[in-house]
Chains A and B, each alone.
Chain A
Amino acid sequence: EPEVTQTPSHQVTQMGQEVILRCVPISNHLYFYWYRQILGQKVEFLVSFYNNEISEKSEIFDDQFSVERPDGSNFTLKIRSTKLEDSAMYFCASSQPGQTNEKLFFGSGTQLSVL
């Protein structure tokens, strides 16, 4: 079965450094998402992406965050200057084309630790 893949599985960085989290969505999917879960808290929506642009973003997704689909297969989340509170598990997800109520397929996540 096709799956969403994320790399790296773990990322440790110093506060203030830039990180890029990478995702390869399922190939025929056109909607892409980033979510995160801070330890002990609920899953939070960050951003959705469709047709090469952001379609929705949450209050969490401030100017420190950006997303890109650089080559038609990868979908990346960049955090420009990481803060301690950015430490979380970051999940990428994608969904079927043209069906905004179709289920999301999630990657296995990137655990980001900011020291």
Chain B
Amino acid sequence: ILNVEQSPQSLHVQEGDSTNFTCSFPSSNFYALHWYRWETAKSPEALFVMTLNGDEKKKGRISATLNTKEGYSYLYIKGSQPEDSATYLCAFWNTGNQFYFGTGTSLTVI
């Protein structure tokens, strides 16, 4: 089982603050990195699918970057709003067609 780690585990920010979290994954056999948002009582919803080293994706106030050589991805939220409160999951897909979720970062916007 591969280790896909996310940090921090949980985060509380004030409305309007910008924040970011990290996903670390094995740098070998990389195929794709996904970010999902999981709100309470709902199913995970895809935010980004990233495949190339140096990829940057943006969706509204949320953006993500990818470094496949060192095995990390950052997710940024600019000007956090209460509706951003959710668990953010990254998922690593390797060339062996194995797909592993990270531990998640729980964000609460006060």
Residues of A at the B interface (CB closer than 8 Å) are 4, 33, 35, 42-45, 48, 55-56, 58-59, 91, 100-109
Q: Does B32 contact A (CB under 8 A)?
A: yes
Contacts A42-B104, A43-B89, A48-B97 known; A102 to B44 CB distance under 8 Å? no
Residues of chain B having any CB pair with chain A under 8 Å? 1, 31-32, 34, 36, 42-46, 49, 51, 89, 93, 97-104
Q: Interface SS of chain B: helix, strand, loop or mixed?
A: strand
B34 close to A42 (CB less than 8 A)? no
A103 touches B101 (CB 8 A): no
Q: Once the chains are docked, how many angstroms separate the CA of A4 from the CA of B49?
A: 19
Least CB distance, A111 to chain B, in whole angstroms: 11
From the candidates A42, A100, A101, name the one contacting B101 in the complex (CB within 8 A). Answer: A42
Q: Is the CB of A45 within 8 A of B32?
A: no
Q: Quick one: which of B42, B49, B97, B103 contacts A103, CB cutoff 8 A?
A: B49
Q: Smallest CB-CB separation from B48: which chain A residue?
A: A103
Q: Are B97 and A55 in contact (CB under 8 A)?
A: yes
Q: Measured between alpha carbons, how far is A35 from B103 in the docked complex, in Å?
A: 14
Interface centre among A4, A45, A48 (most CB of B within 10 A): A45
Among candidates A58, A91, A102, A106, residue contacting B49 with C-beta atoms closer than 8 Å: A102
With A43-B89, A103-B34, A107-B43 given, is the CB distance from A35 to B97 under 8 Å? no
Q: How far is the CA of A22 from the CA of B4 in the complex (A)?
A: 29
- 20 pairs, CB–CB < 8 Å, chain A vs chain B: A42-B103, A43-B101, A44-B101, A45-B99, A45-B100, A45-B101, A48-B99, A56-B97, A56-B98, A59-B1, A91-B43, A91-B44, A100-B32, A101-B51, A102-B49, A103-B49, A104-B34, A105-B46, A106-B44, A108-B43
Q: How far is the CA of A79 from the CA of B66 in the complex (A)?
A: 38
Question: Which one, B32, B36, B42, B102, contacts A42 given CB within 8 A?
Answer: B102
The interface residues of chain B lying within 8 Å CB-to-CB of A108 are 42-43
Residues of B within 8 A of A55 (CB): 97
Residue of B nearest to A56 (CB): B97
Complex CA–CA separation, A84 to B93 (angstroms): 30
